[in-house]
Structure 1
Amino acid sequence: MSDLHIRCTTPSDIDTVLQFWRDAAEGTSISDDHDGVARLITTDPEALLLAERDGILTGTVIAGFDGWRCSAYRLAVHPDHRRQGIATALLEAAEQRFITLGGRRVDAMVLEANERAHHTWVAAGYQREDHWRRWVKPLTQS
């Protein structure tokens, strides 16, 4: 994996990341737009990690930390690059970030229907807590 490079997102990466998520990620969110990603990397410049090989974006993960909880979102690897350790490398980078920040537990948001992703998270040592159900409400700007 020496040819894999993991780095933080810059503003010039936003459109590439959005296209990548359309191609590689399962589903989208209302915050998956230029303004949403720009706000994320302005608020926390180290939160969105990119994996690149030969200058090509191959994977992403959002490693968010609010001072209390560590949250992992948008772990995605391009279909042409799966099963090469990219997701593992991204999760290791995210976890190292969390440890550096003083985090103690990672909560991961994973689509219920994405069985392939479930296997990835289990292989990385994560456990599903069925007793927790997330309740969400999209916020609208007034």
Structure 2
Amino acid sequence: MIDFILRTAGPEEIPAVLALWARAAKGTSITDDADGVAALLARDPDCLLVAVRADEPAVLLGTVIAGWDGWRCHLYRLAVDPEHRRRGIGAALLAAAEERFVALGGRRADAMVLDGNALGHRTWRGAGYGPQSQWTRWVKPLADD
């Protein structure tokens, strides 16, 4: 078992966060770059939660973005290093995100999960989340990839 600590990420950790997402997250987004993550942290410095090794705090084990827009709670980029999965890191990150939302006045959280991400589906269902079949996400890129 590995001991880990949960905390918020700082701007200096953006390269490590992006590297973790490259090896641990399914799919990519137009905002998966240093500028996108920097803008996220500038807007809400406490929204990017990370799990780090207790004995090596610079080593990222997992992330989740717990975004609060004042009305709804949104979860993105739940990612755990493949070498450290099935050790409670993802569950701890989700619990911390949900605690953040409750403290901010949130009443329901949603998560973006790719349709083809079977591992993600199991993870989210195990945490008590489920798809809402009456909604479809509509998107319009505002910038080129």
Structure 2 residue 9 is matched with structure 1 residue 9: yes
Q: How many corresponding residue pairs?
A: 141
Partner residue, 1:99: 102
Instruction: Return 5+ residue gaps in structure 1 as ranges.
Output: none
Provide runs of 4+ in structure 1 moved above 3 Å.
none
Name 2:62's counterpart in structure 1: 59
2:20 is aligned with 1:20: yes
Normalising by structure 2, we get a TM-score of 0.93
Counterpart Cα distance in 2 of 1:58 and 1:2: 10
Cα distance in 2 for residues equivalent to 1:132 and 1:38: 30
Q: Matched residues in 2 for 1:118 and 1:38: separation? A: 28
Q: Which residue of 1 aligns with 2:80?
A: 77
- Cα deviation, residue 2, structure 1: 8.2
User: C-alpha distance in 2, partners of 1:2/1:44?
Assistant: 29
- What CA RMSD, in Å, does the superposition of the two structures yield over aligned residues? 1.4
Task: Calculate percent identity across the aligned residue pairs.
Answer: 59
Pairwise mapping of residues 38-57 of structure 1 onto structure 2 (< 5 A)? Answer: 38-53=38-53, 54-55=55-56, 56-57=59-60
Query: Any idea what the Cα deviations from partners look like across 1:69-96, whole Å, max 9, x if unmatched?
Result: 0000000111101111111000000000
- How far apart, CA to CA, are the structure 2 residues paired with 1:43 and 1:93? 19
Aligned position for 2:124: 121
SS where residue 131 of structure 2 aligns?
coil
C-alpha deviations, 1:74-121, integer Å up to 9, x for none? Answer: 001111011111110000000000000000000100011011111111
